[in-house]
Amino acid sequence: MRKRALKAQKEQEAQHQRELAQKKVFEYVQEAGKPCSVAQFRAIDNGVSIAPMTSRFLGDQVVLLPQESLPENQGKVMTPILQVNLTEVPYLPEALQGKAWLSIFMDLESMLLGTHPNGENWVLRAYDSLEGLEIREIPLAQVQEQAKKWQAAQISWTQEMDVLDICSAEYHVLPEKWRNYQEDIPLNYYRFRPRQWFDESTQEIVQFSQRFEGDHQGNWHVAATKLGGFPTYHQSDEYQEVPSYPGSFVLQVMNGIKHKILNHLQGKKCFDLCDCSTTYIGWIDGKWWMETQTS
Establish how many alpha carbons lie within 13 A of residue 278's alpha carbon, considering only the half-sphere containing its beta carbon. 22
Which has the closest alpha carbon to 104: 290, 293, 259, 260?
290
**pLDDT of 35 higher than 60:** yes
Please give the pLDDT value at position 287.
97
H-helix or E-strand spanning residue 162:
strand 153-162
10-44 in b/e burial notation, b at 16+ Cβ within 10 A? eeeeeeeeeeebeebbeebbeebbbebbbbbbbbb
- CA neighbours closer than 13 Å in the CB half-sphere of residue 193: 17
The whole-angstrom separation of Cα 295 and Cα 291 is: 13
pLDDT at 207: 42
Report the run of H or E that residue 9 belongs to, with start and end: helix 2-32
103 close to 125: Cβ distance less than 8 angstroms: yes
Residues 6+ apart with CB under 8 A from 258: 214, 215, 216, 223, 224
Q: What is the spatial distance between Cα 23 and Cα 201, in angstroms, rounded to a whole number?
A: 13
* Residue-level pLDDT at 196: 57
Using CA atoms, how far residue 141 sits from 22, 54, 77, 137, in Å, is: 55, 24, 10, 11
pLDDT value at residue 210: 46
Mean pLDDT of 231-260: 85
213: three-class secondary structure by DSSP: coil
pLDDT (tens digit, 9 = 90+) per residue, 195-233? 555 554 554 444 444 455 544 455 678 889 999 999 998
| Average pLDDT value for residue range 112-132 | 95
Q: Which of 188, 195, 180, 184 is nearest to 24 (CA)?
A: 184
Say whether pLDDT at 149 is over 90.
yes
Query: Which residues contact residue 140 at a Cβ distance below 8 angstroms, ignoring those fewer than 6 apart?
Result: 60
Domain 2-294: top CATH class: mainly beta
From 212, 287, 291, select the one nearest 253 (Cα to Cα): 291
- Confidence at residue 14, expressed as pLDDT on a 0 to 100 scale: 79
CB of 290 closer than 8 Å to CB of 116: yes
For residue 83, pLDDT over 80 is answered with: yes
pLDDT above 90: residue 157: yes
Q: Return mean pLDDT, the chain.
A: 85
50 burial type by CB count under 10 A (0-12 exposed, 13-18 middle, 19+ buried): middle
Residue 193's pLDDT band (cuts 50, 70, 90): low
CB 214 within 8 A of CB 39: no
Closest CA to 220 of 49, 26, 3, 12: 26
**What Å distances lie between residue 50 and 43, 53, 64, 154, 158, CA to CA?**
11, 8, 16, 8, 19
What is the helix (H) or strand (E) element at residue 12, kind and residue range? Answer: helix 2-32
Assign 73 to helix, strand or coil: strand
